[in-house]
Amino acid sequence: MHKGAPVPARLGIWAFLATELLLFGGLFTVYVVFRLEYPELFHREHLKLDRVMGALNTVLLLTSSLTMAVGIAAIRRGRQWVLQISLLLTLALAAGFLGIKYLEWSGDFRHGLFPESNLFFGLYFMMTGLHGLHVVLGMLVMVWLLRRARRGDFSDQYNTPVEVTGLYWHFVDLVWIYLFPLLYLIG
Amino acid sequence: MSNEGIATTQPQPDYLAARGFRSWAFTHDHKRIGVMYLITTHFFFLVGGVIAMALRLKLLSPGPALFSDHAYNVLFTLHGAMMIFLFIIPAIPSSLGNFFIPLLIGARDVAFPRLNLYSYWIFVVGVVVTVASLLRPIDTGWTFYTPYSAQSSSAVTALSLGLFLVGLSSILTGLNFIVTIHTMRAPGMSWYRMPLFIWGMYATSVIQVLATPVIGITFVLLIAERVFGVGFFDPAKGGDPLLFQHFFWFYSHPVVYVMILPAMGIISEVIPVFARKPIFGYKAIAYSALAIAFIGFLVWGHHMFVSGMSTPAAVIFSFLTFFVAVPTGIKIFNWIATLYRGSISLDSPMLYALTFIFLFIIGGLTGLFLGSLATDVHVTDTYFLVAHFHYTMMGGTIMGLFAGLHYWFPKITGRMLHEGWAKQAWWLIVTGFNVTFFPMFILGMQGMPRRFSQYPEKYQPLNIVATVGSWFLFLGILIMFANFVRSLRSGARAPDNPWQGLTLEWSVPSPPPVENFEEIPTVTDWPYGYGSRSRSGRDE
């Protein structure tokens, strides 16, 4: 068996991700209900989203999952420097994601698109908002990880927090992989 | 269950020895956190109880009396919301669960002690926000149905936020228990050697982790509805108020099993100890807990039969509702089989356990009336429903809680309860409870709707009976609490094992030392080998 997180922490994060799945599951349910009820509305409104921005964000977030995975693989081999660089890169990519999200949202607001505009944009803002909140939380945890990494807390023997954060980050990435086609690529 | 590990009995400081605010507020000790939950939740039990007394007092008169109709709406909302979210959901899992899960599985603490402390303080912050929302008291009923809850000028937003935090605390507690039960069991304690309270808590925790996030997102959506004007639940904007009800009950039905499964776990511990017999049908009881947790996720629609639902969906939900009664029935038959030819001693924990069985049968069977489509149309939103869920929640969960409190009081505090007072209180509680709530079945059948402050005069006689009953019930509960306080100060010193129980918590001193076990015990048998028919070496 490879040197991973000890069983309690790993079981704990999986249970937590199950909770997260049900949390987002509520929003996805709302999405299914209203898309079935108002297919034309969803098609018409989704054209107002910027696919290029959305696609760019998908690339950024997928890449950040890669850098996170590289960091975990590195610290399992005891490579402190690689972990720190990976965490910095992941943070930078996440910040880029949020930056683009900010541009998109402010563009929407300029065009008079708000959560109360219609059901599609209500969902769009709720889903990307909740997801964005998870990105911010992930970044806060990564800043904390980075500080600990610079103190040399992690090694090939002990890297539980890194691995657990990595699982969380992949989950945040996964949610976006569903959000992108469901919101940007309807028809 | 043997515990060969304990050879020396060097006096170690008990968990209550340290003094001062900080020693409690920053403790990682699951026992102290359990006690803090116990006190916090029972405070709201008393507040919610006082409100209930006020409501019953008003209902003595069919016309306007005591307070305004609006105040009545506010008070029944507060009674429901406090009792459900601040008392009965966390009452057993977070308090007795926290205290006894590690002790019953032979662990020194839960898997994540620090997270456990955070859970408590998140709970407290949630409670504070919830209580702060009382500045503009809400009048929506504890179910917060839209569209009214989206429009009401009362503090629904603050309350939703508070309850979101309470829910987060519940999720983290459940997560902690799942990991604890999976990874912290003493050597030799296989799944089939676990006490049944642990099985019950495990099933409970699974529901907490999987259902609570759904009410979390529901509260978020309700806040979005009020703050940002999102229209998911607003028909004027194309939304659907029924969607809110589906979301609400997808959590709020499974959560009744968060309330009842730990109580059933307590009953499964108390009955074999006081019947001096091995529990009958161990595996059936264990698996029925998991079955209840699983099927419980599929029955939420029965709260909405008259809200609007297609006939096929209603029939399926009705069938599943009957189906979830089966594992509950299995448990009750097994408890009764355990009692059969046992040498029963009627100490106060056993009295409450038997009361649980008696009242829960009534509560459970009347649930089937409500789960049947035709009768539900007649009795839905009447006092029949009020009587039904008070029989299950108070007659079930709270009697289970009282059984647990009387059973484990010596272990928690190191003092014995005054048995005479306990029995006095029990008489008053059982009599008062039935006199209060049984007439409500009849009132409901006669068509008296719930949640109205005024009612036609023909319902008055039975309402007077119910209100008089509530005084006995309340007096009984006060005597019970007085007994707790009195025994805490001047009760006889409790021995390690006053009831001759075989579960591991009885192998350590009362109150337990900080580290629980001097040495982690090795488990060689199941914990129910009472009497002559001990089945030694029983295992999967």
Q: What is the mean pLDDT of residues A166-183?
A: 97
**CATH number of the CATH domain containing A117:** 1.20.120.80
Residue numbers in A near B105 (CB within 8 A): none
Average pLDDT, chain B: 93
Q: Is the pLDDT assigned to residue A171 strictly greater than 80? A: yes
Q: Determine whether the interchain pair B175/A30 forms a contact, defined as Cβ–Cβ distance below 8 Å.
A: no
| A25 touches B at CB < 8 Å | yes
Q: What gap in Å lies between CA B158 and CA B167, rounded to an integer?
A: 14
| A40 touches B at CB < 8 Å | no
Q: What share of chain B is helix, strand, coil (3-state, %, to 5)?
A: 70, 0, 30
| B271 touches A at CB < 8 Å | no
Beta bridge partners of B449: B382
| A155 touches B at CB < 8 Å | no
Name the residue with higher pLDDT: A88 or B539.
Answer: A88
Q: Is the pLDDT assigned to residue A125 strictly greater than 60? A: yes
Q: What gap in Å lies between CA B212 and CA B207, rounded to an integer?
A: 8
Nearest CB neighbour to B224, from listed A8, A16, A126: A126
Q: What is the pLDDT of residues B143-156, one digit of tens each?
A: 889 888 888 888 88
- Between the alpha carbon of residue B509 and those of residues B38, B261, B292, B404, B516, the distances in Å are 21, 28, 35, 18, 9
Residue A163 belongs to a domain:
yes
Q: Is the pLDDT assigned to residue A13 strictly greater than 70? A: yes
Q: What is the pLDDT of residues B250-283, one digit of tens each?
A: 999 999 999 999 999 999 999 999 999 999 999 9
Q: What gap in Å lies between CA A75 and CA A91, rounded to an integer?
A: 17
Q: What pLDDT shows up at residue B134?
A: 78
The boundaries of the domain holding residue A126 are 7-184
Query: Measured between CA atoms, how close is B398 to chain A, in angstroms?
Result: 28
Instruction: For residue B452, give the nearest of B136, B138, B62, B156 by alpha carbon.
Output: B62
Q: What pLDDT shows up at residue B483?
A: 97
Q: What pLDDT shows up at residue A81?
A: 94
Name the residue with higher pLDDT: A2 or B81.
Answer: B81
Q: Is the pLDDT assigned to residue A78 strictly greater than 70? A: yes
Q: What is the pLDDT of residues B433-467, one digit of tens each?
A: 999 999 999 999 999 999 999 999 999 999 999 99
Q: Give the ipTM of the model, two decimals please.
A: 0.93
Residue A2 belongs to a domain:
no
B448 backbone dihedrals φ, ψ, rounded to 5°: -75, 120
Q: Determine whether the interchain pair B228/A125 forms a contact, defined as Cβ–Cβ distance below 8 Å.
A: yes
Residue A103 belongs to a domain:
yes
Q: What pLDDT shows up at residue B536?
A: 45
Q: Is the pLDDT assigned to residue B538 strictly greater than 50? A: no
Q: What pLDDT shows up at residue B11?
A: 67
Nearest CB neighbour to B216, from listed A8, A23, A122: A23
Q: Taking each helix axis from N to C terminus, what angle separates B399-413 and B30-58, rounded to the nearest 10 degrees?
A: 140
| A137 touches B at CB < 8 Å | no
Number of domains in chain A: 1
The length of chain A, given as a count of residues:
187
Name the residue with higher pLDDT: B6 or A34.
Answer: A34
Going along chain B from its start, the domains and CATH numbers come out as: 28-507 (1.20.210.10)
Q: What pLDDT shows up at residue A6?
A: 65
Residue A65 belongs to a domain:
yes
Residue A1 belongs to a domain:
no
Q: What is the mean pLDDT of residues B397-414?
A: 97
Query: Measured between CA atoms, how close is B221 to chain A, in angstroms?
Result: 8
Residue numbers in A near B181 (CB within 8 A): none
Name the residue with higher pLDDT: B514 or B10.
Answer: B514
Residue A21 belongs to a domain:
yes
Q: What pLDDT shows up at residue B137?
A: 84
**pLDDT band for position A5 (cuts 50, 70, 90):** low
Produce one character per residue of B353-369: b if its CB has 16 or more CB atoms within 10 Å, e if not. bbbbbebbbbbbebbeb
Query: Measured between CA atoms, how close is A41 to chain B, in angstroms?
Result: 11
Query: Measured between CA atoms, how close is B269 to chain A, in angstroms?
Result: 27
Q: What is the pLDDT of residues B229-244, one digit of tens each?
A: 998 998 888 899 999 9
Residue A48 belongs to a domain:
yes
